[in-house]
Amino acid sequence: MSEMRVIGIRVEQPQNQPVLLLREASGERYLPIWIGQAEATAIVLEQEGVTPVRPLTHDLIKILIADLGHTLEEVHIVDLKEGTFYADLVFENEVRISARPSDSVAIALRVGCPIYAAESVLEEAGLVMPDEREDEVEKFKEFLESVSPDDFKATDS
């Protein structure tokens, strides 16, 4: 497993599809995950430090976890099947709950726990972007121009 950092959310045009971009904390691979608009909004609001008047779903989950006396230790992005990513919320005592990566990342940002991606996922969908001196945002924009969600679907090879 490689620890990942949330770079941010970008919108792929012309489909107007949000993409979550993660980057290895101690590596050079990026992991793009196409996500829904609601989850993208939740991630952006948390990254920008915006606190809604009433708790959003991911805020409510954070409150439930804490009030029920549990601790979310880690988020693991564990699999990629037919273009769909899978994640686990890992609690104390190794209790695992399967969840979408977009929800998992939104919750992880709120509770401050680390995010990891399985090596098999990074081997299949991770990308190394050239020219490390370039700004991450510019590299991501160039990347988005060259890929589509279909690039991450399984093939019959």
- At 29-43, the pLDDT tens digits run 999 999 999 999 999
CATH classification at residue 73: 3.10.690.10
Single-letter amino acid, residue 116: Y
More confident residue, 132 or 136: 136
Question: Among positive and negative, which fits the CA dihedral 101, 107, 109, 113?
Answer: negative
Percentage of residues in the chain having pLDDT higher than 70 = 82
**Inside any domain, residue 10:** yes
Q: Work out how many domains the chain is built from and give that number.
A: 1
**Inside any domain, residue 72:** yes
Q: Which domain holds residue 63?
A: 2-142
What are 90-111's pLDDT values in tens digits?
Answer: 999 889 999 999 999 999 999 9
* Predicted model pTM: 0.80
Give pLDDT, residue 142.
66
**Inside any domain, residue 156:** no
